[in-house]
Structure 1
Amino acid sequence: MRLDLKRYFPILDWGRRYTGETLTNDLVAAVIVTIMLIPQSLAYSLLAGLPPEIGLYASVAPLVLYAVFGTSRALAVGPVAVVSLMTGAAIGKLGITDPALMVGAAVTMAFLSGAMLLALGVFRLGFLANFLSHPVIAGFITASGILIAVSQMKHILGVKAGGDTLPEMLEALWHALPATNFWTLGIGLAALAFLFWGRKGLKPLLEKAGLRPKMAGIAAKAGPVAAVIATTGFVALFRLDGADVPIVGDIPRGFPGLKLPGFDLGQWAQMAVPALMLSIIGFVESVSVAQTFAARRRQRINPDQELIALGMSNFGSSLSGGLPVTGGFSRSVVNFDAGAETPAAGAFTAVGIGLAVMFLTPLLYFLPKATLAATIIVAVLSLVDFSILKKTWGYSFADFASVAATIAVTLVMGVEAGVSAGVGISIALHLYKTARPHVAEVGCVPGTEHFRNIRRHDVSTDPSIVTIRVDESLYFANARFLEDYVYDRVVKDKAIRHVVLMCPAVNDIDMSALESLEAINHRLHEMGITLHMSEIKGPVMDRLKKSHFLEEITGKVFLSQFAAMRELTSAPKPEPERAAAE
């Protein structure tokens, strides 16, 4: 069997068609994304409670590795808000305060995340992410956005305040209010005001200055860079570090060299579950972004290969001393709008970040932490979307319950508990709904061969025949429900001689459901009623043929419900027959 290397190394596919024009477009996009990514990387490292340079380290090797293994042409990989929050929360639960040990824990988290994502990709287990429904993800991201924004208020105020949940954070901020540093507060509020205004007001201003709309839009997204330059210059000019304004301070030049995670099995065990949650959340966010941009260019991505690419990216981040990474929406938007055509744009961005780490870090000494906090707050508030509550309330109470519970638990108990609650409630509600499947008694629509619910349509029926359409796969959780439904229906009507189970929506029948069908067949036979089935799908029929059920059923298995009604209504008198598949 020939190994298809392009499948595992997509660079071998798009790299063959790389041209000079593509190179130019990728380089332009890389320059723009690099400018945007530097303050973001610093900010998200701050969000995780780590030294600022860790975010820069996480923005080099992952981009290069994604360019080799990734299938999205526009996705930009690096630290993102939600993943950084989850990383910080996981490290916080370890009870360590030494910065070096915290960095070591982040490196371990990135390594574990990489290993898990890689394993999921190799074994094609990306479907596990489906257990996080869109409403649950929306609720979690909304709650996380609130937590992130509130957590950054301590940097806006220039105070020390902790807490992992919303009540803890608010209480800590309240007690710390008297210690507010007003220079820091002024800088933070000014940065917030500029960044909020810049989201809508900067682009029109740049267009008036002569920039084309597309370039003005891209330049407007680099607004945080302007805030960084202005506030850094202000603090340096007036030496406000002497007024206790918290600043980034010394950022080491260059890279720390290759780092292996610590092999503390106890720490690994503590971080395994948070790493798995982080991996799945990051994968879902990344794939959603990648699919959005791929659709715009009529391209496709491979989710299983994306798992491998993200796994390798996290390995790269771990070995270079960084924190966990995934595909980010905001930087991917800039990358896409700037004209990036291939993942090589990410590799060029990595070169730009690398040059910044080597030569520009001394310029960031006076960068106030309040500016980074403002950057985070403005970025994450766009993630907060309470409209999902209104949408789900009007459409599905089960989805509303999942969203509301996820938001409430995340805010009150923390991010890990919120994800667990969302997944648990989603699975529990799914089991509840499938345990009580929609079952309808149907009749024939006059003049057609179609059968519809007798309660919704004007249909013709035969008093001696009851046709029950089952709208769910049959398994252990709902098998007894079907038994009770059939028995309750037939005992009320002495005229019934035939029961037909119509199964167009049944995709599976497990062993428990098979035993229930056998019990229904046996009990109906004792009551003088014949059991038939219709419209069984091929794979389900194949499985039934491996059992004795088709030999024991008292009636027939019909290819269509119309054929069943035509034969049963024309029969002179109902007599039990051996099963015969049409």
Structure 2
Amino acid sequence: MRPDLKRYLPILTWGRAYNKSALSNDLMAAFIVTIMLIPQSLAYALLAGLPPEAGLYASIVPIMLYAVFGTSRSLAVGPVAVVSLMTAAALSNIVEQGTMGYAVAALSLAGLSGIILLAMGLFRLGFVANFLSHPVIAGFITASGIIIAASQLKHILGIDAHGHNLLDLVISLVKHLPEINWITTVIGVLATGFLFWVRKGLKPLLKRLGLGPTLIGIAVKAGPVAVVVLTTLAVWLFGLADQGVKIVGAVPQSLPPLTLPSFSPALLNQLLLPAILISLIGFVESISVAQTLAAKKRQRIDPDQELIGLGAANIGASLTGGFPVTGGFSRSVVNFDAGAETPAAGAFTAIGLAIAALALTPLIFFLPKATLAATIIVAVLSLVDFSILKRSWDYSKADFAAVSATILLTLALGVEAGVSAGVALSILLHLYKSSRPHIAEVGQVPGTEHFRNILRHDVITDPNVVTLRVDESLYFANARYLEDKIHNRVAHDKAIRHVILQCSAINEIDLSALESLEMINERLREMNVKLHLSEVKGPVMDRLKQAHFLAEMTGRVFLSQYDAVKALGTG
């Protein structure tokens, strides 16, 4: 088997070792996840502004494609809250909800996102996720969770309300409060309360009753299904739909249809930026979950192949009546805890959802939308984490500023502006930190060949020699900072005759930084001070040898800092 084929088709690796034990565990995990995903898929389609069946369709073919191309053994792919909200925010600015054009635009958004992810994977651009700092992403997801929960209150209250940011939603909700449907509100509040109790209180109760862990796990995951069944029966038995309770209505009883996204240049141009943002956020969420779960079993995740897997899943969604998908946190954790051993568990889940799409859809005709809204609210509020504000404040004021700005901008301007701000702030935060690198003046630890910061340790120094350790690669953004630091240290100390740059932490020097080093060398020459380098890494030395800097440098290059001090210490 060709190694490159195995890289692009991980199923060829885990599929060859598949056995009865893995089959049994995967089937059990698939059963539990399918129970959870039926109401969740319907709910996320509602959040995205699409018919409920779109949620089922987006959870069938994409999962199967990911099983073939993905590297995570536990990741469950499908609609997720944040991506569904971003889908609704992107599409509602272009086409009207409820129209055929809206559904086609959703297909196109999924297809475009799939192409972007696939291209990133093929060109091995998985590293781009590193540009999104975790605190900023946590802030964005927290703010998005609040917006999502607020957006579902209209279904809980049985009123009409619109808005893509928190302020617009609150104003619209208050404006329509006189139209509240009390029966819908009772259903929504009871469903929400029950789902919260299922998450917190059902497990201890079942433990006291003596049930085993497997049955308890199934019962807890089946909580949303119980709410769906009970509220649907209530609406049907008491004719509540005639009293203003909004229901799901007729859902096609079929497998995912073959669909084709729009190739209109005008539409694709409008969808390009949202598709890029959805791809980035979806990938970051997915890879974070996949790596966390893989680490627990000492498995390896290939970020570039994950991009290919997610790209294939989104292209599959665009061709089968779905909308943008990614790896979900809650469903993946459930899949992992239920004992899934391979991606085949996802394929079995897809089969279960296909059976539900064929056989169970007539049963949800009277399902109240308030129940689906309750499912969404309970799911997304678990994503809200304001503790990130305290942690970032205690650890780094710059991180706190970035997190706070992301939360506020997302709440005030909406998810697209929020995620754009999050990406920009992550990059700016990195540039700010690296533009002011830690530069320590070091001295020799007595009796050793080690050198440490003079402000932190009792060290030996020579008045004629100054050693500065630069703890960052040198590039255009921080080169001038190094110039100023050296000038300020040397200009007012007439005893200094040698400046040593300890380069042990410098991995690269770009052309701007090289020019700054040339400027530093010239300024020190004018002060009758020599510039030396120590502990220069091989690749950095290779680059310096290609330039004329070493030939023009007033001092020498030393293999170690100890050698430099020993040679220059006499003044």
- Report which stretch shifted further, 248-257 or 266-275: 248-257
Q: Are the aligned partners of 1:50 and 1:99 in contact in 2 as well (CA < 8 Å)?
A: no
Counterpart in the other structure of 1:33: 33
Q: Are the aligned partners of 2:95 and 2:101 in contact in 1 as well (CA < 8 Å)?
A: no
Take 1:325 and 1:144, find their aligned partners in 2: how far apart are those partners? 17
Counterpart in the other structure of 1:577: none
Q: Are the aligned partners of 2:261 and 2:318 in contact in 1 as well (CA < 8 Å)?
A: yes
Take 2:24 and 2:441, find their aligned partners in 1: how far apart are those partners? 65
Would you say 1:266 and 2:269 are equivalent positions? no
Note the alpha carbon deviations across 1:451-475, whole angstroms, 9 max, x for none.
1222222211111111111122111
Deviation at 1:2, TM superposition (A): 4.8
Deviation at 1:98, TM superposition (A): 4.2
Counterpart in the other structure of 2:461: 461
Counterpart in the other structure of 1:545: 545
SS at match of 2:173: helix
Take 1:97 and 1:453, find their aligned partners in 2: how far apart are those partners? 62
Counterpart in the other structure of 2:195: 195
Would you say 1:527 and 2:521 are equivalent positions? no
Q: What TM-score comes out, normalization by structure 2 length?
A: 0.98
Note the alpha carbon deviations across 1:316-353, whole angstroms, 9 max, x for none.
11100101111111111221122211111111111111
Take 1:116 and 1:480, find their aligned partners in 2: how far apart are those partners? 37
Counterpart in the other structure of 1:386: 386
Give % identity: 67
Note the alpha carbon deviations across 1:93-150, whole angstroms, 9 max, x for none.
1142342111111111110111011001101001111111100110000001000000
Take 2:441 and 2:294, find their aligned partners in 1: how far apart are those partners? 44
Deviation at 1:478, TM superposition (A): 1.6
Take 1:256 and 1:72, find their aligned partners in 2: how far apart are those partners? 25
Q: Which amino acid aligns with 2:125?
A: L
Q: Are the aligned partners of 1:255 and 1:320 in contact in 2 as well (CA < 8 Å)?
A: no
Q: Which amino acid aligns with 1:479?
A: A
Q: Are the aligned partners of 2:155 and 2:373 in contact in 1 as well (CA < 8 Å)?
A: yes
Would you say 1:308 and 2:308 are equivalent positions? yes
SS at match of 2:321: coil
Q: Are the aligned partners of 1:51 and 1:99 in contact in 2 as well (CA < 8 Å)?
A: no
SS at match of 1:152: helix
Q: Which amino acid aligns with 2:156?
A: I
Take 1:23 and 1:436, find their aligned partners in 2: how far apart are those partners? 54
Q: Which amino acid aligns with 1:180?
A: I
- Report which stretch shifted further, 396-405 or 454-463: 454-463
SS at match of 1:4: helix
- Unmatched 5+ residue regions in structure 1? 575-582
Counterpart in the other structure of 1:405: 405
Deviation at 1:514, TM superposition (A): 0.8
Deviation at 1:3, TM superposition (A): 5.0
Would you say 1:362 and 2:357 are equivalent positions? no
Take 2:171 and 2:242, find their aligned partners in 1: how far apart are those partners? 29
Note the alpha carbon deviations across 1:423-456, whole angstroms, 9 max, x for none.
2122223222222222122111111111122222
Q: What TM-score comes out, normalization by structure 1 length?
A: 0.96
Deviation at 1:204, TM superposition (A): 2.3
Query: What does 1:139-158 correspond to in 2, within 5 Å?
Result: 139-158=139-158
Deviation at 1:21, TM superposition (A): 2.3
Take 2:153 and 2:452, find their aligned partners in 1: how far apart are those partners? 58
Counterpart in the other structure of 2:434: 434
Q: Are the aligned partners of 1:500 and 1:531 in contact in 2 as well (CA < 8 Å)?
A: yes
Take 2:49 and 2:356, find their aligned partners in 1: how far apart are those partners? 22
Cα distance, 1:433–1:18 mapped onto 2, change above 3 Å = closer
Query: What does 1:491-510 correspond to in 2, within 5 Å?
Result: 491-510=491-510
Q: Which amino acid aligns with 1:325?
A: V
Note the alpha carbon deviations across 1:189-241, whole angstroms, 9 max, x for none.
11011001111111123334442024303420221000000000000000100
Counterpart in the other structure of 2:251: 251
Counterpart in the other structure of 1:114: 114
Counterpart in the other structure of 1:580: none
Note the alpha carbon deviations across 1:22-51, whole angstroms, 9 max, x for none.
212211211111111110000000001111
Counterpart in the other structure of 1:327: 327
- Unmatched 5+ residue regions in structure 2? none
Note the alpha carbon deviations across 1:244-286, whole angstroms, 9 max, x for none.
1000000011035211101111111111111111111111111
Deviation at 1:385, TM superposition (A): 0.3
Deviation at 1:485, TM superposition (A): 1.8
Deviation at 1:479, TM superposition (A): 1.4
Counterpart in the other structure of 1:69: 69
Note the alpha carbon deviations across 1:41-83, whole angstroms, 9 max, x for none.
0000000111111001101101111111111111111101011
Take 1:207 and 1:452, find their aligned partners in 2: how far apart are those partners? 57
Coordinate RMSD, CA, aligned: 1.3
Q: Which amino acid aligns with 2:429?
A: L
Q: Are the aligned partners of 1:91 and 1:105 in contact in 2 as well (CA < 8 Å)?
A: yes
Q: Are the aligned partners of 2:95 and 2:102 in contact in 1 as well (CA < 8 Å)?
A: no
SS at match of 2:466: strand
- Report which stretch shifted further, 475-484 or 45-54: 475-484
Deviation at 1:515, TM superposition (A): 1.0
Counterpart in the other structure of 1:53: 53
Counterpart in the other structure of 1:100: 100
